[in-house]
Chains A and B, each alone.
Chain A
């Protein structure tokens, strides 16, 4: 009995310290998510305006654009490039499992993969995917600069005509409770059919020139938006996972405390009974 009591005490302590750690992690994620959410929202207007302008130009100049990057790609090439944006660390609930599911569904073993985040890297290598390069996600908010080396791989492969499309698997941040792992196409840029050709814009120096520098800019911005979404989702998922873990740990601690008190009381009662009955064990 005495040993059992000690063990229970130990377990109470460990579950309490787990509760403490998870609480701390939850608070860290909560503070990070604030900044991430603000950045996602700040970028929204800008991103929307860029895609609005791009779609406008695409609608207005239909036949000019056949030799531009990101628009017309040889459809005979079967191979695609996938960017997988995951996390460096676990402890974020079902977020990673959902991303892995997306990889299984949409990537074939022939396709190239560029992983962002340690978890995706180990997963893809383990499962025999064709990993072209890997980057780290980092624990702080991603800066705009980080996308250049990532997108350079895409540019090189497009120039070499090795791939026909570029997709991104990431977790879309809807709000703090709902995040969704999705596969989104980045290249080729699709035309939105809602835009009608009004044909009233003047381009300076020319539509081709403008698009040439606008398109990489546009792709970069979409990609950065995805990166920010993934980061915000990671923090949100970690926050809710940790708050669940914290609650569970607390629950275990209370039920263990009850068991501890009960068995302690039982022990005392037994001792008193023994004394009253005059029996000695």
Chain B
């Protein structure tokens, strides 16, 4: 029991995840890191990719993030990101929407700052990747 810590994943859309976990693997700008209970205080930047969380009952949950920040102190870990989502929530519909939105923005006017267009495109690409990844996983599960 002692080896648990509290993890919050926060985004402007609300609390994506909040609860006690055993371990979490997070993509940061300086590489993948895995955080266990009792980790020293740390502040770093999150890059894009999958966050994998192991819960108390050893079940694994995965989330997708694009850019954000990670803070560890006193056995509380917070991940803040303006785009974070449960990987299972990403489906064809979400991707279509993201793609459409990105295309719309591009078409609307060329004055849209490149950061926005890029971010939207990244979202679409990221979502696509995750979906493929999930599909692969599902296939594997069926096979074995």
Whether the Cβ atoms of B44 and A148 lie closer than 8 Å is no
* Cβ contact within 8 Å between A204 and B12: no
Tell whether, in the assembled complex, residue A43 and residue B71 are in contact, meaning their CB atoms are under 8 Å apart.
Answer: no
A-B pairs, top 9 by smallest CB distance, nearest first, are: A42-B14, A204-B44, A46-B10, A201-B41, A43-B12, A200-B41, A202-B42, A53-B71, A145-B116
Question: What residues make up the interface of A, taking CB atoms closer than 8 Å to B?
Answer: 39, 42-43, 45-46, 49-50, 53, 56-57, 144-145, 148-149, 152, 200-205, 207, 209-210, 213-214, 217, 221, 224
Q: Are A213's CB and B42's CB within 8 A?
A: no
Contact call B82/A201, Cβ cutoff below 8 A: no
Query: Within 8 Å CB of B10, what residues of A?
Result: 45-46, 49
Given A45-B14, A152-B113, A205-B29, residue A53 in contact with residue B41 (CB < 8 A): no
What separation, in Å, do the CA atoms of A149 and B29 have in the docked complex? 26
Residues in B with CB closer than 8 Å to A50 are 69, 80
A39→B12 CA distance, assembly (Å)? 8
Expressed in whole angstroms, the Cα–Cα distance for A148 and B29 within the complex equals 23
| Closest-CB distance, B75 to chain A (whole angstroms) | 13
Set A201, A214, A221: member contacting B73, Cβ < 8 A: A201
Q: How far does the Cβ of B72 sit from chain A's closest Cβ, in whole Å? A: 8
Interchain CB contact (< 8 A) of B43 among A42, A144, A202, A217: A202
Using CB atoms, name the residue of chain B closest to A212.
Answer: B45
A-B contact pairs, 17 of them (CB 8 A): A42-B13, A42-B14, A45-B15, A46-B12, A49-B10, A49-B71, A53-B78, A56-B73, A145-B120, A201-B42, A202-B43, A204-B29, A205-B30, A209-B45, A210-B69, A214-B45, A217-B69
Distance A102 CA – B108 CA, assembled complex (angstroms): 35
List B residues 71-112 near A (Cβ within 8 Å): 71, 73, 78, 80, 82, 105, 111-112
Q: Which of A46, A201, A214 counts the most B-chain CB atoms under 10 A from its CB?
A: A46
Indicate which residue in B14, B80, B113 contacts A53 across the interface (CB closer than 8 Å).
Answer: B80
Cβ of B57 within 8 Å of any chain A Cβ, yes or no, is no
| C-alpha spacing A31/B12, complex, angstroms | 21
In the complex, whether B56 has a CB less than 8 A from a CB of chain A is no
Of chain A, the residue at the smallest CB distance from B82 is A144
- Name B's A-contacting residues (CB within 8 A): 8, 10-15, 28-30, 40-45, 69, 71, 73, 78, 80, 82, 105, 111-113, 115-116, 120
In the assembled complex, the CB of A213 is this many whole angstroms from the nearest CB of chain B, namely: 6
B26 to chain A, nearest CB (A): 12
- Interfacial chain B residues near A39, Cβ < 8 Å: 12
Query: Could you tell me the distance between the alpha carbons of A202 and B14 in the complex, rounded to whole angstroms?
Result: 27
A-side contacts of B15, CB under 8 Å: 42, 45
CA gap between A45 and B16 in the complex, in Å: 11
Q: Which residues of A contact B120 (CB under 8 A)?
A: 145
- Output the residue of B14, B105, B111 with the most chain A CB within 10 A: B14
Docked CA distance A160–B126 (Å) = 36
The interface residues of chain A lying within 8 Å CB-to-CB of B116 are 145, 148
Residue pair A204, B42 in contact (C-beta under 8 Å)? yes
Q: Which of B12, B78, B112 neighbours the largest number of chain A CB atoms within 10 Å of its CB? A: B12
Taking the nearest CB of chain B, how far is it from the CB of A35, in angstroms? 12
CA distance A200 to B43 in the complex (A): 10
Known interface pairs A144-B82, A201-B41; A214-B69 also in contact (CB < 8 Å)? yes
- Report yes or no: A46 in contact with B41, Cβ–Cβ below 8 A: no
A209→B43 CA distance, assembly (Å): 11
CA distance A202 to B73 in the complex (A): 10
Within the complex, the shortest CB–CB distance from A176 to chain B, in Å, comes to 20
List B contacts of A207 (CB < 8 A). Answer: 43
Knowing A210-B69, A214-B69 touch, does A202 contact B113 (C-beta < 8 A)? no
Kindly provide the distance from the CB of B4 to the nearest chain A CB, expressed in whole angstroms: 20
